[in-house]
Chain A
Amino acid sequence: QVQLVESGGGVVQPGGSLRLSCAASGFTFSSYGMHWVRQAPGKGLEWVTFIPYDGSYEYYADSVKGRFTVSRDNSKNTLYLQMSLLRVEDTAVYYCAKPDSWGQGTLVTVSS
Chain B
Amino acid sequence: QSVLTQPPSASGPPGQRVTISCSGSSSNIGSNTVNWYQQLPGSAPKLLFYSNNQRPSGVPDRFSGSKSGTSASLAIGGLQSGDEATYYCAAWDGSLNAWVFGGGTKLTVL
Contact = CB atoms under 8 A, between A and B. Distances in A.
A and B interact physically: yes
Interface of A: 35, 37, 44-47, 50, 59, 61, 95, 97, 99-105
Contact of A101 (B39, B47, B98, B100): B47
Contacts of A103: 44
A105 B47 CA distance: 15
A35 B99 CA distance: 9
Interface in B13-64: 35, 37, 39, 44-47, 50, 56
Tell me the dominant secondary structure on chain B's binding face.
Answer: strand
Task: Tell me which of A45, A50, A97, A103 has the highest count of chain B C-beta atoms within 10 A of its own C-beta.
Answer: A45
A97 B97 CA distance: 17
Contacts, number: 46
Q: How large is the interface on B (under 10, 10 to 19, 20 to 34, 35 or more residues)?
A: 20 to 34
B90 interface: yes
6 closest Cβ pairs, A-B complex:
A47-B99, A44-B104, A102-B44, A59-B97, A45-B101, A100-B47
B100 A47 contact: yes
A100 to B, nearest CB: 5
Nearest to A93: B44
B103 interface: yes
A102 to B, nearest CB: 5
A22 to B, nearest CB: 12
A47 B98 contact: yes
27 contacts: A35-B99, A37-B101, A44-B88, A44-B101, A44-B102, A44-B103, A44-B104, A45-B39, A45-B45, A45-B88, A45-B101, A46-B101, A47-B99, A47-B100, A50-B98, A50-B99, A61-B98, A95-B44, A100-B35, A100-B47, A100-B50, A101-B47, A102-B46, A102-B47, A103-B44, A104-B44, A105-B44
